[in-house]
Structure 1
Amino acid sequence: AEAQLAEQEFKRVSDLLPKRAVSQSQYDEAKANFDAARARVNEAEAQLSKKIIRAPFDGRLGIRMVDRGEYIATGTPIVEINMLDPIYVDYTLSEKNLPDVQTGYPVVATVAAVRERDFKGTVAAINTSVNPETRTVRIRATLDNEEQLLRPGMFATVMTRQPEDNEVVTVPRTAVSYNTYGDFVFVIGKNDDDTQVVTRRTVVTGETRNNKVAILSGLEEGETIVSKGLLRLRAGQPVAIQEDAAQATEASE
């Protein structure tokens, strides 16, 4: 009420000032009274707003942690609230995979609670540092959760995909001999007298999936290699490929 009265008084003085019916000091006094009254109203509204507890985002409430009528101090937990759509998933990748992931890459996550569903999303953020103890980097992805089937705290299996498929040469894991001085495979070829012999070839290996090893360099598609029994071979040794149980396989994409 005081603010309304001060506003009306200020408007009257404002209308009379151009007509020189009031002095400049009367105008300044009316304006100061109106500003002070409006400030008191703002203060009262700020105090009133503190009586209502509001979350800074929309979400779903959990179990209430206080009772009605209970006095709560500053910082007392009242109720758990979580934003479920979209929802974040945090996971880690080895530091060697850091150059292969970027923000915006597609992500597919699965959870034990909903086995038949794949939840799709994108990489939202990549941590700027690598954990010195585990040598892993933290990744955060945003998943669509319109049906709100995902909940915070769930264990998820996450697959980060690249926008484009990379075609690489792969060989069976048993075909690679891992050595401190370099990994190698035995390649089957023919010498001058058309006899099949094995040659030791140094290769650079990549990821291993489903007992298949990616060969980044050192081997071309279509070459024939020995898939097992490497300990019994030596470079330049003559070999014969059996028709029934072949000891060699072709490198494939």
Structure 2
Amino acid sequence: AKAKLRLLGVSKEEINYVRNVRRVNEFTTIYAPISGWIFQKNINQGSAFNPQKKLFQIINLDKVWLEAKLFQNELEGLKQLHNFNVKLKGLQKDFNATKSLLYPMLDPKVATATLRLDIDNSEGLLKPGMYAKVHASADSTSHLVIPRTAAMRKNGKWYAFISTEFKGEYEPVQIEVTPLDTSYFELISGLNEGDSVVNNALFMMDSDAQINGIY
């Protein structure tokens, strides 16, 4: 009987009182198993309940989840990303997050995967339902990189455009890259440190290259 009362959440003091006086109080106090906020209340004063009924939903917000949506082409470089910085509109403070879980299925409606990030919320600034922007980066190591916007993929191969000796002319160079973070590719081969590559407006140069049969 003592074990059953403990499982029901009856305090040790009240159990000892019942054992000593051989009498049950008309009222008893049931303590919440955790501290937090009441998100659901399914009982009112005077209501009856049974062991199967959920009386309250209590949520502790000291640590919260953030679900980030990733497009399919962003999944390849996710393993290299370990640093996640979270910004929310209306809050001056940025938050650091840790990678927790990548859900195994994509949303078929929008073709996005869901990455769960854990964030410390001991100050209570983050609220359920908020929207945020996440910046992800790899660990601080030395890499030869180019901006993602400076690389173009065509027929399964990657190209970058470098300036020639003639002003306003550009030459496509085949390169080998691997995703580093959301903004940069790590350069494996095709360019050297210090080479000047063209950034942005690659769609115009791609059209010119096709017209002239450069690649």
TM-score of the superposition, structure 1-length normalised?
Answer: 0.54
Match of 1:61 in 2: 38
**Deviation, structure 1 residue 69:** 0.9
Match of 1:214 in 2: 185
Q: Is the aligned partner of 1:183 residue 2:158?
A: yes
Q: Percent of aligned positions with the same letter in both sequences?
A: 18
Larger Rg: 1
Question: Alpha carbon RMSD of aligned pairs, Å?
Answer: 4.0
For 1:28-39, list aligned pairs within 5 A: none
**Deviation, structure 1 residue 70:** 0.9
Match of 1:126 in 2: 101
Q: Distance in 2 between matches of 1:99 and 1:207?
A: 10
Change in Cα spacing, 1:130 to 1:96, as seen in structure 2 (3 Å) is farther
**Deviation, structure 1 residue 213:** 5.7
Q: Is the aligned partner of 1:159 residue 2:131?
A: no
Specify every segment of 5 or more residues in structure 2 that has no aligned partner in the other structure, as ranges. Answer: 12-27
Q: Compare 125-134 and 179-188 and name the one that shifted more.
A: 125-134
Match of 1:99 in 2: 79
Q: Is the 8 A contact 1:183 1:203 kept in 2?
A: yes
Change in Cα spacing, 1:58 to 1:117, as seen in structure 2 (3 Å) is same
Q: Distance in 2 between matches of 1:172 and 1:153?
A: 31
Q: Distance in 1 between matches of 2:131 and 2:176?
A: 34
Paired amino acid for 1:122: T
Q: Is the 8 A contact 2:178 2:185 kept in 1?
A: yes
Match of 1:147 in 2: 123
Change in Cα spacing, 1:183 to 1:46, as seen in structure 2 (3 Å) is closer
Q: Distance in 1 between matches of 2:8 and 2:171?
A: 84
For 1:43-122, list aligned pairs within 5 A: 49=10, 52-62=29-39, 64-93=41-70, 94-101=74-81, 105-112=82-89, 114-122=90-98
Match of 2:173 in 1: 201
Higher relative contact order (CA 8 A, sep 6+): 2
Q: Distance in 2 between matches of 1:158 and 1:171?
A: 18
SS at match of 2:79: helix
Paired amino acid for 2:67: D
Paired amino acid for 1:72: F
| Structure in which a larger fraction of residues adopt helix | 1
Paired amino acid for 1:49: V
Specify every segment of 5 or more residues in structure 1 that has no aligned partner in the other structure, as ranges. Answer: 1-39, 237-253
Change in Cα spacing, 1:208 to 1:58, as seen in structure 2 (3 Å) is same
TM-score of the superposition, structure 2-length normalised?
Answer: 0.61
Equivalences, count: 185
